[in-house]
Structure 1
């Protein structure tokens, strides 16, 4: 694969006005996503490409344009996007990675001319093939999605019909946003590229497993194109793996293959390392597959995560680098983090901060790819409230909630972490979100992972595999704190907010009594407060208002995102007292 992570953007002007100037502006603010090269294609012109992000290309114009900035992990100039198919019918750009692209290419290259070794070009020719076998672009996209194994956001134009499709993978591991107004439709990998065009740009996300189809008149419709595997049918009562022995054997096979896919061709790789079993297992396996593995962490000097991560790294002979976070560095980072993740939600900011800080070290080391432990809690039953669901509603309800949490991961976690790592030009990969790992995990009886109402650990198949692979029991069975508390960040931000005159005295008592609204601010999707410790969901209102102010300073008050964050706008506007 020639380029991995990147940023994509595009504009369709409904009034036949030129888009080049705005497209260049959008790409310029996503420079971090593609420091190695940039290209735009406007109308039927050939792409204009550069090896750096100096956007001083010859001026071309038209009513539709695609733009692309790239981070090159392996390869050279022939991986530049957008690509146009052999027959000239489709033009495509892609952000992500396709893990079965070699197998697909071996079949396609018999009848298609390839100009690169890029997985993005494989998607192009696969879609070109499916389009000739289909009634329309939507049908072709559905056929394509059934074949691809990977994570992706894609923008494609059918040059015959004028249709444009914005496509996102099943779990939403790679995000794509869009906005529509009477003048034009815009889309990009990050919201800020759309907000930058001015006006009150209300941004929507392309939903996971969906395609937004834009016709040649600029009208939009959204369709589901990717279906979850049958394993994730919530009505399933018969499980393939009902003993630890068979479950561990199947899981080991799936996870090992997932890790090989995500480390192939790399001599060095980073790990987002908390010392918890999810990141420990990833690091342990990576060490067997990659020549140089470097673990990264960040937190306050005496935080539990830092102390334990250091202990674990020494015991397992892993290289660990730690960025120490102070009150001063936190205050300096907060605007940068909010700019990166495009969020003011307190929990999102607090979780992003240590990762953002750790990735600064990875960037200094010229590490381009890091592995994450995200997804293990959802597929193996690791959340603290899961045992209470078993006690009150049974195992079938537990499985329903696990599936629900997996498909909400894009909103709570994946978008934030992609933007956090890509703020430093680093690609994040998620071994636990591999298609086969997920199928295997949901073929395991949930009784093996969550043993009942008193089980405070969960993920027992996951932990037992780690133990079997040689990870000491005290590490495999450690119960880890939430990221913002384990790193010590929450308490630092609390102190900073108070020093900036944001405290409880500025918040209305009505709001302080409104538990459900506080839950919304703390975590817009989770339902866990109904089953567990409510304190886990209580965001300190004065911290939230402080972060709101920073967000407005960074992006302005008119930058909006149509989602539950609209409810957040209403809440915070209602509760702030006039000063």
Structure 2
């Protein structure tokens, strides 16, 4: 299991029956004589009495003195405390974690599913990992993702799951805002500002930047908060994303790190990118490629977290196909389509992108997928997201209003969406290379 994910780390910590061990590489594991003993590896590992927490991600209100959560709150209450839905719903963050306590393990995944987490159970016992390939390497069968908003309990009796937060159902039942666009946009802007503020706190932060609307809003908010974010971009030298990023970064007065790619560099990296994502299709690889090189650029710039615009198109009607949905089905069914797309992000896009970031030792953060932002988004009438007038369609209309309120240039506010594989210029290169390699 560890060898299958070794590209993600150079050292790790092990918690064995209450004791910590530092390990510099997989080959050193044999020195510890782990055969037949349960072990746990993680980037963030904390011990508490006879228990330990492994946390992938961040819980923003952990340790908040004002009614928030502390490690002792999670562990001190034992497994019964974790089963209380109200206590789990109180967690604000982007996370997958496991608590090891008294021969049992409790696993949890945030309501959006921003961090992948897989579980499996067979005659050898229970297993879990943030990557499917780790469990496959250990020949586990029946591997399945732990669903967002669920906890799982693993002990000698097996593996059982419990839902603690059905976010899609809550989003479906929210009462819509009323009032003018400016008023609604002000509420959305404040929620986005709060999301960015907690995600950049105490971190060396960058923004995955194309110069488009979504990333420009995040960059401007980070800058207004005094974080001095560094922008990162990757693509062919004459691609739309690279040229646009340079132009907008200069207007915003922010430092931009660009990884200008050539076809040979892309071709050489494709096998590794396909292995990291576990998805060799041309579309998946072409999306992951600019993310991979931008993440490498972020790491070389000394950044440990990048803010990304994932989720904005799904929550605010950014894709062109939504126009056809509206034409055929109307606003009500378009709203259902947006909810479905947000609900499926964890299995369609987030895992692929997350594995790409982590392979470069860079942690992603998703302001548009913050629970409070999503609640706000689904209280916004769909008509404010996909606007129709005499000129035509205005996708992500309410975000464009937010952009104007932030003082972004008009050409950024009115800019049409460009998918990353096309905007970066990578698509044609990936398509040709994979076709020549007979992988398509």
The TM-score, its normalising length taken from structure 1, stands at 0.70
Offset of residue 363 of structure 1 = 1.6
2:418 corresponding residue in structure 1: 481
Cα distance in 1, alignment partners of residues 385 and 172 from structure 2: 18
2:243 corresponding residue in structure 1: 307
1:144 corresponding residue in structure 2: 87
Cα distance in 1, alignment partners of residues 164 and 35 from structure 2: 30
Offset of residue 371 of structure 1 = 0.6
2:276 corresponding residue in structure 1: 340
Q: Is residue 436 from structure 1 mapped to residue 376 from structure 2 by the alignment?
A: no
Offset of residue 233 of structure 1 = 1.9
| Deviation digits for residues 42-96 of structure 1 (CA, Å, limit 9, x no counterpart) | 3x3422235x5576476254755232232xxxxxxxxx62523x4x3x4432111
Task: Report 1:177-216 matches (<5 A).
Answer: 177-197=118-138, 199=139, 203-216=143-156
Report the secondary structure of 1:47's partner residue: strand
1:11 corresponding residue in structure 2: none
Q: Is residue 94 from structure 1 mapped to residue 55 from structure 2 by the alignment?
A: yes
1:295/1:319 contact within 8 Å kept: yes
2:160 corresponding residue in structure 1: 221
Q: Paired residue for 1:155, among 98, 103, 113?
A: 98
Q: CA, structure 1 residues 365+45, in 2 after alignment: closer, same or farther (shift >3 Å)? A: same
Q: Is residue 175 from structure 1 mapped to residue 116 from structure 2 by the alignment?
A: yes
Q: Is residue 248 from structure 1 mapped to residue 185 from structure 2 by the alignment?
A: yes
1:386 corresponding residue in structure 2: 322
Higher-Rg structure is: 1
Cα distance in 2, alignment partners of residues 149 and 193 from structure 1: 28
Structure 1: runs of 5+ lacking an equivalent: 1-25, 71-79, 109-118, 503-544, 547-579
Report the secondary structure of 1:258's partner residue: helix
Report the secondary structure of 2:202's partner residue: coil
| Deviation digits for residues 203-245 of structure 1 (CA, Å, limit 9, x no counterpart) | 321111122333314x2333322222775125x5x51243212
Cα distance in 1, alignment partners of residues 243 and 255 from structure 2: 15
2:12 corresponding residue in structure 1: 38
2:220 corresponding residue in structure 1: 284
| Deviation digits for residues 490-518 of structure 1 (CA, Å, limit 9, x no counterpart) | 21122223433x3xxxxxxxxxxxxxxxx
- Larger RCO, structures 1/2 (Cα 8 Å, 6+ apart): 2
Offset of residue 195 of structure 1 = 3.0
| Deviation digits for residues 367-398 of structure 1 (CA, Å, limit 9, x no counterpart) | 11111011111221212122222222221111
Offset of residue 28 of structure 1 = 4.9
2:172/2:378 contact within 8 Å kept: no
Cα distance in 1, alignment partners of residues 178 and 402 from structure 2: 14
2:78/2:101 contact within 8 Å kept: no
1:261 corresponding residue in structure 2: 198
Cα distance in 1, alignment partners of residues 374 and 263 from structure 2: 40
2:207/2:308 contact within 8 Å kept: yes
Q: Is residue 318 from structure 1 mapped to residue 251 from structure 2 by the alignment?
A: no
Report the secondary structure of 1:102's partner residue: coil
1:465 corresponding residue in structure 2: 402
Q: Is residue 417 from structure 1 mapped to residue 360 from structure 2 by the alignment?
A: no
2:234 corresponding residue in structure 1: 298
Give me the CA root mean square deviation.
2.6
2:152/2:162 contact within 8 Å kept: yes
Offset of residue 125 of structure 1 = 1.9
Cα distance in 2, alignment partners of residues 227 and 239 from structure 1: 19
